[in-house]
Amino acid sequence: MQGMFLIPLGTDRDGGKRPIVVPLLVIVCLFVFLLSRVGTKDGQEDFIDQYAISYLGFEWWQPVTHQFLHGGWMHLIGNMFFLAAFGVVLESRLGHLGLLAFYLLGGALAGIAQVWIGYWAEPVSSVIPCVGASGSISALMGAVFALHPRAQVRGLAIPQFVPAQISIRWMIAFAVAVDVVRTILDFTRGGGSGIATLAHLGGLAAGFAGGILLLKTGILKRNDFDALYLFKQWRRRRELRAVMQESGTSGAGGLIAARVAAQGRDQETPAQRTLRATIAAAHRERDIPLAATLYVELLGTAPDATLPAPIQLDVANTLASQGQHQSAVRAYTLYLERFRTSAACDDVRFMKATIEVRRLRDGRAGLATLDAFNGRALSREHAELVSQLRAECGGAKA
């Protein structure tokens, strides 16, 4: 698989479901690898030639069978690490049969791309049979990128062998850059790397396209974290800012931004006022995730910035649902400071305390938030929640 400075062990989007197909694929790959080592050297070579994929000796079964062959122990082990890391999250999302179909189809397309395009680009060296699950796993990576473009890949850093994580966007960008360079060098210098770079690139492209197709057709349920949504969000942000600038409503006196700007400090930069205008427009269009993203950007330069109460609450709740716990707590805190008499304050305190205790593991902050309920008459449900959260704070002191 593509060289990385991380041994992948999983992602932060694994879903918690027990995989079935992924471990079975690992077992099959190991079995076929051992089977390919049985017998004489000539017999082993005949086995590889029959089931590897090649241009000149192409057979209909090779696009599938080549995925289970490997050139050596390191080739096998490396691919199995990547299969486990990316296969688990996809099996959770696609189901058992869906993952198997995606794996086999993605690998078949990647293998065909390797031998067909490779033979067209450089006929001499590309007649060597292609083996390995790299194309299949690249397809899984591409699909994960389409479905979870903000995922973090967890693993062990090399050579330190300490826990680490990397954004899947950076991992794929690095892999593509390396494979593009290898491909150019191979086809301009008569080969040499021995790596099926076109299978990697073809698998990534096929997997990403497949993931987008599943989202577009509704086979997979859309959410606010997939690649289609992020593209829509980016495009809408650009359009909103363009409209603000062209219409002259991006300043503090703009009609669209009037209510939001009124909540800001007297001294704000033009960029901050533009952000407020865009937040207001996004909220009006019910694009709350975009409003939340822009609010986090606003807090980066104006840490005490608040919005009108309904917008502030919607933004805070959205940040909490997205797992941006620190930003959500900050938004809730500012809400409580500015809108002390709001009827929603108790619910906000419960949300804030829950995140502090159960997500951020900050018992001291959680107790400080819960102290606001001291001496208060609470419903049975709320009293039980306060008691549970206090117990989870352990020995922390406010």
Question: What is the DSSP track for 9-38?
Answer: EEETT-TTPPPSHHHHHHHHHHHHHHHTTS
* CA 65/CA 267 separation, integer angstroms: 67
Please state, as a whole number, how many other Cβ atoms lie within 10 Å of the Cβ of residue 385: 17
SS3 track for 175-213? HHHHHHHHHHHHHHCCCCCCCCHHHHHHHHHHHHHHHHH
Name the pLDDT band for 259 (thresholds 50, 70, 90): very low
Residue 195 and residue 332 in one domain: no
What's the DSSP call for residue 96? H
Nearest 5°: the CA angle 390, 392, 398 is 50
Q: Are residues 200 and 257 in the same domain?
A: no
Q: To which H or E segment does residue 272 belong?
A: helix 270-284
185 and 243, same structural domain?
A: no
Proportion of the chain above pLDDT 70, given as a percent? 85
Is 70 in the same domain as 23? yes
223 three-class SS: coil
Tell me which H or E stretch contains 167: strand 163-167
SS3 (DSSP) at 165: strand
pLDDT attached to residue 262: 45
Of the candidates 170, 185, 216, which is a domain's last residue? 216
Q: Could you tell me the maximum CA-CA distance found in the chain, to the nearest angstrom?
A: 84
Mean pLDDT of 132-158: 90
Residue linked to tokens 């497949």 = 210
Please return the burial class of 73, using the count of CB atoms within 10 Å of its CB with bins 0-12, 13-18 and 19+.
exposed
- What is the mean predicted confidence (pLDDT) over 168-185? 87
Domain match, 205 and 263 both:
no
Single-letter amino acid code for the residue at 185: L
Same-domain status, 166 and 69: yes
Same domain, 190 and 260: no
Strands of 235-316, DSSP E = none
Residue at 352: amino acid letter: K
Q: What is the pLDDT of residue 254?
A: 42
Q: For residue 301, which amino acid is it?
A: T
Residue 221 lies in a domain: no
**Whether residue 43 sits in one domain with residue 135:** yes
Number of domains in the chain: 2
- Decide if pLDDT at 180 tops 80: yes
Ranges 130-144, 203-217, 384-398: which has the least confidence = 384-398
Residue 327 lies in a domain: yes
CATH at residue 105: 1.20.1540.10
Chain-wide mean pLDDT for the chain? 84
Please check whether residues 331 and 355 belong to one and the same domain. Answer: yes
Residue 312 pLDDT > 70: yes
Query: What is the pLDDT averaged over residues 54-63?
Result: 89
Domain edge (last residue) among 166, 184, 216: 216
CATH code of the domain in which 353 resides: 1.25.40.10
Q: State the residue for tokens 């300490």.
A: 162
Q: Which of the residue ranges 24-38, 151-165, 199-213 would you say has the lowest mean pLDDT?
A: 151-165
Instruction: Mark which of 169, 195, 216 sits at the end of a domain.
Output: 216
- Please report which confidence band the pLDDT of residue 11 belongs to, taking 50, 70 and 90 as the band edges: confident
Q: Is the pLDDT of residue 342 over 80?
A: yes
Give domain status of residue 338, yes or no.
yes
Q: In the 8-state DSSP scheme, what is residue 39?
A: S
What residue has token string 């219409």? 247
In sequence order, the β-bridge partners of residue 21 are: none
pLDDT value at 258 more than 50:
no
Same domain, 298 and 167: no
Instruction: Report if pTM > 0.85.
Output: no
How many C-beta neighbours within 10 Å does residue 248 have? Answer: 10
Q: What is the pLDDT of residue 194?
A: 67
What are the angstrom distances between the C-alpha of 178 and each of 3, 4, 183, 222, 328?
8, 10, 9, 32, 38
Q: Locate tokens 């709350």: which residue?
A: 288
Confidence category of residue 231, pLDDT binned at 50, 70, 90? confident
Report in angstroms the alpha-carbon separations of 87 from 98, 286, 332, 360: 11, 35, 37, 28
Residue 127's pLDDT is: 67
Cα 364 to Cα 384: distance, rounded to the nearest angstrom: 19
Cα angle value 37/41/47 (rounded, 5°): 60
What angle is formed at CA 135 by the lines to CA 146 and CA 102, rounded to 5 degrees?
55
The answer to whether residue 322 sits within a structural domain is: yes
Question: What pLDDT sits at residue 244?
Answer: 52
Residue 188: which pLDDT band, with cuts at 50, 70 and 90? confident
224 is a domain residue = no
Mean pLDDT of 173-187: 85
Q: What is the mean pLDDT of residues 185-195?
A: 69
Both 212 and 238 in a single domain? no
Percent of the chain past pLDDT 90, that is, above it, reads 38
Over residues 352-356, the mean pLDDT reads: 92
Domain of residue 233, residue span:
229-392
In terms of domains, do 210 and 233 share one?
Answer: no
Q: Please tell me the total number of residues recorded for the chain in this structure.
A: 398
